[in-house]
Amino acid sequence: MKSDLPKVLHKVAGRSMLAHVLASVSAAGAANVAAVIGPGREDVRDEIVRLREDARVFVQERRLGTAHAVLAAKEAIAAGFDDILILFGDTPLVTPASIDALRAALREGVAVAALGFEAANPSGYGRLIHDETGGLIAIREEKDASAAERDITLCNAGLMAIDGRSALGLVEAVGCANAKGEYYLTDVVALARANGLTARAILGEESEALGVNDRLQLAEAERIAQDRLRRAALAAGATLIAPETVFLSADTKIGRDVTIEPHVFLGPGVAIADRAVIHAFSHIEKAQIGEGAHVGPFARLRPGAALSADAKVGNFVEIKSATIGAGAKVSHLTYIGDADIGANANIGAGTITCNYDGFFKYRTKIGEGAFIGSNSSLVAPVSIGAGAYVGSGSVVTRDVSPGALAVARGRQVEKQGWAEAFKRAQQEKKNQKNPAR
């Protein structure tokens, strides 16, 4: 990856690849999780525990192959679980449905179930080898495959389920007599057959086998994940006018009859209620958008933004850690940070809440039905009462009573003839500096 960040912590659709895998196994009902990490990877450990507090973490001190990695969690495998499922932290596109299918095979008496896929280009993948009866007899890594085996297009996706009664014995029996001198987990299929047990290939989608090893593959995983998320949003009743230009996160929640215009980015933690409209070129993260609310175009909702029903946040408006009441309008060219805006309030263009003194953040409160004139600065902490007016261009530093008018600006002064006198004086200075030749 050419990165200081561990590979499995790189993000796809706003979530680490590791988080995607753990989310899938949790959705598939995995009651216990054991994770194998490399030495010195406390950052990976922290992510695992953040996502699954009950997870047990084991360290593989030396990297001698996939079976060797699994045996790092020998203590967990030996606990006697019915099913042992093995997944990889860099395959973020695996689905709960495929995990369920692997477990279903074990319930039918299969000892080893391997997820496979039909590859358009099988180069680089292990091949699933079947006998004349259709039974899975081996998984052959490409470097060890014969020419005939390399012609097989049914490939190994890497995910595997092993009957808990056989798992530890099979994995411990794996040797390293292969081209790379490593302990291949895939050898458990042949070992199972040699012990009179059955193995089966479960067919999945090729995308589920995508292991991310570089930035190009990361981008491909993002493309596939976004396509899945867009299709799910459309199927659930949202309108994406140009779906390919809308970017979602894995946890994005979108209600029915929501309309999302082109070139919208939804980061993690976004929930959009029914009938809301997100106009073009808006950027939203960790924000809640109420029913019928309008956002954008060219709006930015930062973490903690919460819009109530029918609120409006218009073009070139930034909202951060603020609640916008029902029917309130923040229509254009405005910054609202650390604030509470009451229902049906109107915030004029160019208004800003001055919420930070270089050390601490302070809150602004604006009551229901208040009207804030354009180009006003509200210096927090400050409260504007319900129904109050703030005159345009004001710098408000004290609370304003409900129903009152606050005007905080210099008195306008007009000096007749000043402009012409000023221009003459400036021209004379310019002539003295650059006399005509």
Write out the catalytic residue numbers.
332
In 2-55, which ranges are E strands? 11-12, 15-16, 34-37
Phi, psi of 110, rounded to the nearest 5 degrees: -75, 140
Task: State CA 199 to chain mean position distance.
Answer: 36
SS3 percent helix, strand, coil of the chain, rounded to 5, is: 25, 30, 45
Residues with Cβ within 8 Å of 208's Cβ and at least 6 positions away in sequence, in order, are: 91, 93, 94, 95, 98, 115, 117, 157, 159
CA–CA separation, 73 and 33 (whole Å):
10
**Measured distance CA(324)–CA(131) in Å, rounded:** 65
Q: Please state, as a whole number, how many other Cβ atoms lie within 10 Å of the Cβ of residue 401.
A: 14
Helices and strands, counts by H and E, the chain: 10, 32
The 10 Å Cβ neighbour count of residue 62 is 10
